Structure formats: C-alpha cells, structure tokens
Chains A and B, each alone.
Chain A
C-alpha cells in the first residue's frame, strides 16, 4: 500500500485509480463477514427483479457458470500453482455426460439430480487421469501437455460424430427437472411469474454459491494450507509431511469436479452442446477471470468473472472494436496493476488477512513450556546412525565416507567452513537427496529411499539454512502446515464442516499458538501477519515452530541463529537447550561458534566433504586440523611476499 500511495502522489490519474481500487478493496475487507454475506444474498436474489430483462438475466446466469469454472480453475492454478491449460476439457466432459445421459442421443433420460454427481465425478476422474502422468513435469511442460489434452478432447468431440454428434453437437437435451419442477418452463406463483431464464439464473447462482462455500472451506483446512504450501515452496512442504503428488492430484480432481458441475448445469440450460463451446478461447477467458480479479483469492475470482462477462457487453456498443479493446484492456491492466484489480501489491505491505478468533488465544497460558516429542521411543537404539555416507554431483564429491551416530537426547553440531558439505548431509538425512553410497538408519530402521514427507511423518524434521517459509502465508498458517500430518479430517468432513473437523482445526490453531508462545511471545501478536513482514530472527523462530509442529523426534536445524544479533542468538541457544531437555534430539549446523561451543554435547567437523574431527567442544576447539580448516594454514611470510 505504501507503494501505491507513493504512486498516487506522483502520477495523477494512475495513482488515483490505484488508490481508489485499494480503498475499495480495503472497504470490502472491513465489512463484517456475516453482514457482507447477507447483503450479497439479497443482491443476488434481487437481480432478476431489478433487471427485468431476459437477456440481462441470462447474462447474470452466465456469471454463475463462470464463477464455478473460475473457482475450479483457481483451485488448480491459484492454490496448487499448476498451470492447467486443458481445463475446459473437464467442462466438456460434464456437459457431454449430461447430453449422453439425458437426451434422445442414446434414448436415456436420467434425472438431472442423478446426472449431476455422475458428470462431476467422471470429470474428476478425467482430472486424475490427466493429472497422474503429468505430475512429474515441471510448470511449463505441464502447461503444454494439459493444453494438448484439452485439444485432444475437443478434436475427439468434433471427429467422433457417431458418439458425440460431431461438430453439430447434441440437441434436444432434457431441461433440468428438479423434484418435478421443470426449469425450462415459467413458474406461476400467483401474481408472480418466474420465467425459465430466471429459474436457471437461480440454479446457477445456487450452485455457484455452493461451490464457493465448499472451496472456501477447503481453503481454510489442512488441504488448502497444504496446497498453498506446495505452491510457495514445494521442497519445504514435503519436508513438513505434505504428500506432494496426492495433493496435486486432489487439486486436479477438485477443479475438474467443479468444471463437471458447471458443464452439467450448462448442458441442461442450453439443452444443446457442441464442441464450439469448449475451445481454448473459453479457457483463456476463465484464466483471465482468475488473474484479473486478483489471483488466488475467491473474492477476486468472483469479481473477475463479473467483469469479464459484463465488460464485452458494454463494449458491444462499439461492436467491431470490442475484441481489440478487450485485448488492450488486458494488457493495460497487467501493465499498471499486475496484482489484479483487487489484489494486493508489494508483499511487504500485506497486513493482517484473517483474524484468529480470540477464543483460541485465551486458552494459552503465558508459560513458555515446550512440549516433548509425541510417543515413546525404544531406549537403547541410537537416534541416527550414518554409515559410510557419500554423495557425488557429477564429478564433484560433495560428501564422502561419513560415519557418525547421534544418540537420543543429544545435541550434535556439524561445523566446517563454507562448502564443506554440511547442508548436503542434511539433504541426505531428510530424504531430499539420495546418497551415492552408504546407509542411514533412524531408530534402527534404514531410511535411504524413504520420501521426505514420509520421513517428516516418522519424526525427522528440518529447518533450512536460507529460510524456506511459505512466503505468502501468515505466521500461524505456516506453523499449521507443520501440523498437517496430525490433522485427520477427510475431504467430506471439511466441505460439510462437521463438528469433528471444527474441533480438529480449533485444536490445531491452539497448538500452533502455543508453539509460537513457547519460542517467542511476540510471535503470538504477529500470528496473522504475512511471514515476510517479520524480522529475520522472527522468521527463523517461525521456521523452528513449524518444524516442532510436525512432531519431530530428530530435529535438524540448519543455521538457526544465522542473521540474528548476539542477544537473539543467545536466546535461541537457550531455547535449543530447552528443546533437548524436553526430549528432542537435535542435529545442528551452525557457524556461530559461541552457540555451537555452548550447547553441543558433541561436534562433528567437516572439511572437503569428510569428517576431520569429532568430539566434545573442548577437543574440537584445540584440534590443529580444525583451526587450520577455519583460519587457513599459516604460510611463511617470505613466500607470500615473493
């Protein structure tokens, strides 16, 4: 916001427009949610009576269809960050399913309410079918493959004439018939005559509202948080126990499901489907809706849908110039407001997004007690046994022949000069790299080849040297991603917002706040701030909280005090000690020698990928090889001056 104000002072109209849109957004934000909902409901109900024009009501109904499509695509693109350009194919699947099952084409006339779930589920199935093989692909490869898939479906619709009716499509599709009410006929309510188009308007709005509700609930659950985590930082998400592939598949399926719903409703409304509807142009329109409104947020998506349905209608007056203006407007909006109309600008300025209810805070005692790790571990097994571990990248031997053991309840530090291979060791233990040779055992179990999310669930949790927080999420949300594996609520109970789900969420929130409180009381006050607005030290603390939320037994801390002042570092040191006392085993990489020497039970010194010294702090400190590795070998001055 600071940015837009700065713009506003300097640049006349553009600045004013920015400020205006920001004000509008903030004003919308400031309305009480319940109040906002009621207002919205009344407005939606009143539309047909205000417009009094079949064409316009029809247009309004179209908005409903697009809202469903756009929030579905938003789940895939906005939440999970998957560039799915084959999305309209699922819309087509839904529409053609209804056309097949409720038209003279095959003589089937199944009821609307039966076909609706069938169509949506089959679309979701297609989503999974497409999603499964393409998950291995990176962003833009995924885009082109999904685009190809969309084209394949469309060409099949055109060319498989005996099955799909070919380019002419399928006609005479049954209208929706809900509990004996035929929506294609006007309903007489005494004085009030409700036209067919108004019926369908209400139908699309009803389902659009339902989809919005379902998606917003998903978004506020462990699933939504995991999606966002994957989008922000896939690697960190995996290390917090998020099963990347499953969640991406779920996003594909959810998006396709919503498109399927939209398709069935669309077919029953038009009573006609043809391949003409399911083009890449349609996809682009839906895409623009997401981005234009302010990517990722549901409200923005709704605004985008409205703007992009209504805008061309306004431009209709300029008939032939319509599309030229439309194209130019897209470019200009992106150029001058790349975050979308109601989106937020620079990340740093983002303030509280959602306010945690005070109820979940009040339960927090101000004690800074740290809870111990969950479950009990067999006493006599070492926490971690690393044997002859090596890793090469191409010709470069990053670590070679490492052998060491970490006993339960120890704090062991790995130190060594830059480039010694310390972080590689962490990447190997946490499953991000596969070793070239050697074995790793965790509580007696070999873990080489176990994926990172599984390791996190088993209790090996790490932090990252260069801070891999989920940048667009709040402090609390970041910590709650760590709780992913603990939360058991299923898809259905989330969408239905069952009591058990609400209890689960409440518990998670309380636990997250408690963790924040244990590591730094100031974090509780900033729980609803976007993490990027925190200081470096606070971000480090949040990352450790997030790791603790995972329920680790072995905690891998990669430079936990980097970038902290010495006072902050001291505080962190004592907190790490408290963690050990609470029962956690800690493996630590750190450059800050005061910290390392102060808290380590044992120290392992790496240089050039190999262990050059191991022992208590005193032993290591006085080891000539260590001093040499750190300060360099002292050379004769005569030689240097030569």
Chain B
C-alpha cells in the first residue's frame, strides 16, 4: 500500500458473515427461504440495535457519529471479558442466564460510559465549528479505539464460549425451519431493548425532552431543558444499545475482533439512512430491511455480493424517496 498514513485497514468480508458460504442452486435456495428469512431477521435485529445509536445522535445533533461502531466493538470485548472469566467448564443452566445478564449489563454500562465520554471530550468542544470538524474528530476516536484495543488485547480475534451458555442442540423447530438458541436470544433481547427504548422515548419525561430537543433545541431550552444533558443522555442510551449488540454479535459468531466495528458501523449507518435519518422507528425498520435483503441476497445471488445488494437497495430506496423509508420530507425554509 502506497499510503503510509493509511489508518483503517480493509475489513475482511467475513466480519459479519452469514452462515452460508458455498453457492447453491435456486431450488435449494428456495427450499431454504424460510430459514434465510429467520437469518435475515436476526441480522436485522442486530443492525437495528446499532442503527438506533446513529439515529438518536443524528436526531439531536445532526452529526454522524463515526465512532459508534467502535463503541459496539468495545461492548463486544467487555462481554468477552465476562464470559471468559465466568464460564469455567460446565455450567448449570441457571448460571447461564445469570452470566448472560451480567454480560449484557456490563457491556451496556461500559459502552454507555464510553459513548458519553467520547461526546464530552471529542464532540462537545466542537459544537459550532464546521460540519467536518466533528466528523474528523469522530474518525480520530475510531482509529484510536481500534488500535488501543488491538494494542491492549492483541490482533487475534477473541473466542466467545457461546456453546457453554447456549448449547448447540437448544433450538426451536417449526416445519423446515430451525431457529438456533442464539438466534432466539438475539431476537428476544433486541425486541426487549427496542421496546424499552420505545417506552423511554415515548412515555417518559426525559424521552419527551429528547424528542423536543431534536426538533427545536432553542425552544426546548426555553422550557428549562438542558440541551447538554439531553445530548449526554442520547449518547448514553445509543451506546448502551450498541454495547448490547456487541455482546449479541459475539455470541452469534462466537468471536469478536478489533476490526468488527467498522463494517458493523457501516451497516448500522446504512440501516439508519435507509429508514430515514433521525427517526427511531425508521432505524428499526431500516435494520430489519437491510438484514433481510442481505440474508436473502446471500442465499439467492452470492454471499460475496451481499454488501453490493445491500448498498444497491439503499441507493434505490433513496432515489425513490430521498429521505429514507420513514423519513419526513421537510421543505427547505427560505
């Protein structure tokens, strides 16, 4: 590589692999359609969790938080730290649930704190600067975190002992479709978290304040709503969701590595835009659509082209509806 200043290496295609590796003919693919559908939903839930963080931050600050993928990655590592310290040999099932809960809580707490810290140190001083400045700052944070994790924990990926918590034979079957335990876990946890978020944003005082601040920060301040606290809160919640997603991805692929934030971030970001920037329901929907498109694309065309399919769908959607699936078309003020 010419550029000695290159900072993020290309991420291998397998950073978030679908379970299919070999190409297959159409009949086989059709037979597997329901299965791929489930795979797509699983992936979609993960994308949606990540997308929510981008979406909420964008809603309040109109800024792309490029470091979000790295927060997700750190969450994955925190989960790994818990699972590899607590899982010793065979564990009774009751403990498995406890360990899963601890993993999620620790990852969410750590990622949340990290997110708030990043905003406070790297973005808050730049409010009012040009739009590019926070973008570059975010890239800097992203490079820093990636490499700090690599330095501290090595370049090799870390193995999640998922099997010790969720045995391989634990699954639900319905006709041709088998849903593995990890997938069920991912879908259930994601839905719970999204429901909790929805409740928070729609029903609580601070959630309402957050929506109000996103719409009109100055006006919200006249009601005594401190924008800085709302912004910190936004970063906290978005990062907590990303931390949880990190753990779930670790359990799903049974490994985490320090590069995983980039492609996950890119997908989360894509999902956000697909659904309509700044719209929480949009981010959830965008994640699901993206996951499904990728899962089905990988089955019917080729796993190698799943990203191309995902981006093509994004571009097509935006060409038809320039502000995303659920985005509002706001007229420009003159």
Q: Which residues does A use to contact B, with CB under 8 Å?
A: 59, 62, 65-66, 77, 133-134, 136-141, 143-145, 147-149, 151-152, 154-156, 158-159, 235, 266, 270, 275-277, 279-282, 284-285, 287-288, 290-292, 295, 308-309, 311-313, 320-321, 323-324, 326-332, 334-335, 338-339, 393, 423, 427, 432-433, 464
Given contacts A279-B10, A312-B5, A324-B144, contact A334 B136 (CB under 8 A): yes
| Most chain B beta-carbon contacts within 10 A, residue among A149, A312, A338 | A338
Set of chain A residues within 8 Å of B125, measured between Cβ atoms: 335, 338
Given contacts A145-B315, A338-B126, A338-B130, contact A291 B6 (CB under 8 A): no
Set of chain B residues within 8 Å of A329, measured between Cβ atoms: 140
Q: Which residues does B use to contact A, with CB under 8 Å?
A: 1-10, 13, 58, 62, 64, 121-122, 125-126, 129-137, 139-148, 151, 262, 266, 269-270, 273, 277, 304-305, 307-308, 310-312, 314-315, 318-319, 322-324, 331-332, 334
B2 touches A323 (CB 8 A): no
Set of chain A residues within 8 Å of B10, measured between Cβ atoms: 154, 275-276, 279-281
Among B5, B135, B144, B304, contact of A159 (Cβ-Cβ < 8 Å): B304
B319 touches A308 (CB 8 A): no
Q: How far is the CA of A339 from the CA of B131 in the complex (A)?
A: 11
B136 touches A287 (CB 8 A): yes
A288 touches B136 (CB 8 A): yes
Q: Would you mind naming 27 contact pairs between A and B with Cβ atoms under 8 Å apart? A: A140-B58, A140-B62, A140-B64, A141-B277, A141-B318, A145-B314, A266-B2, A279-B8, A281-B9, A281-B10, A287-B135, A287-B139, A312-B5, A323-B146, A324-B147, A330-B136, A334-B133, A334-B134, A334-B136, A335-B121, A335-B137, A338-B126, A338-B129, A338-B133, A339-B129, A393-B331, A423-B334
A327 touches B315 (CB 8 A): no
B4 touches A312 (CB 8 A): yes
* Least CB distance, B150 to chain A, in whole angstroms: 8
Set of chain A residues within 8 Å of B122, measured between Cβ atoms: 331, 334-335
In the complex formed, the residue of A with least CB distance to B132 is: A291
B143 touches A59 (CB 8 A): no
A133 touches B319 (CB 8 A): yes
Q: How far is the CA of A280 from the CA of B265 in the complex (A)?
A: 13
Given contacts A284-B139, A327-B145, contact A141 B324 (CB under 8 A): yes
Set of chain B residues within 8 Å of A432, measured between Cβ atoms: 334
Set of chain A residues within 8 Å of B311, measured between Cβ atoms: 148-149, 151-152
The 5 closest A-B pairs by CB, nearest first: A330-B140, A327-B144, A327-B143, A148-B311, A338-B129
Given contacts A138-B323, A148-B270, A287-B136, contact A327 B142 (CB under 8 A): yes
Set of chain B residues within 8 Å of A235, measured between Cβ atoms: 332, 334
Q: How far is the CA of A295 from the CA of B130 in the complex (A)?
A: 9
A335 touches B126 (CB 8 A): yes
A308 touches B5 (CB 8 A): yes
B305 touches A291 (CB 8 A): no
Among A77, A328, A339, contact of B144 (Cβ-Cβ < 8 Å): A328
Among A138, A311, A312, A427, contact of B322 (Cβ-Cβ < 8 Å): A138
Set of chain B residues within 8 Å of A291, measured between Cβ atoms: 132-133, 135-136
Q: How far is the CA of A507 from the CA of B134 in the complex (A)?
A: 41
Among B2, B137, B151, B269, contact of A277 (Cβ-Cβ < 8 Å): B2
Q: How far is the CA of A323 from the CA of B9 in the complex (A)?
A: 11
A66 touches B3 (CB 8 A): yes
Q: How far is the CA of A277 from the CA of B130 in the complex (A)?
A: 29
B9 touches A279 (CB 8 A): yes
Set of chain B residues within 8 Å of A159, measured between Cβ atoms: 304-305
B136 touches A141 (CB 8 A): no
A282 touches B140 (CB 8 A): no
Q: How far is the CA of A213 from the CA of B307 in the complex (A)?
A: 39
B4 touches A309 (CB 8 A): yes
Q: How far is the CA of A516 from the CA of B78 in the complex (A)?
A: 64
Among B8, B140, B142, B146, contact of A334 (Cβ-Cβ < 8 Å): B140
* Least CB distance, B278 to chain A, in whole angstroms: 10
Set of chain B residues within 8 Å of A59, measured between Cβ atoms: 4
| Most chain A beta-carbon contacts within 10 A, residue among B2, B129, B315 | B2
In the complex formed, the residue of B with least CB distance to A423 is: B334
Set of chain A residues within 8 Å of B314, measured between Cβ atoms: 144-145, 148
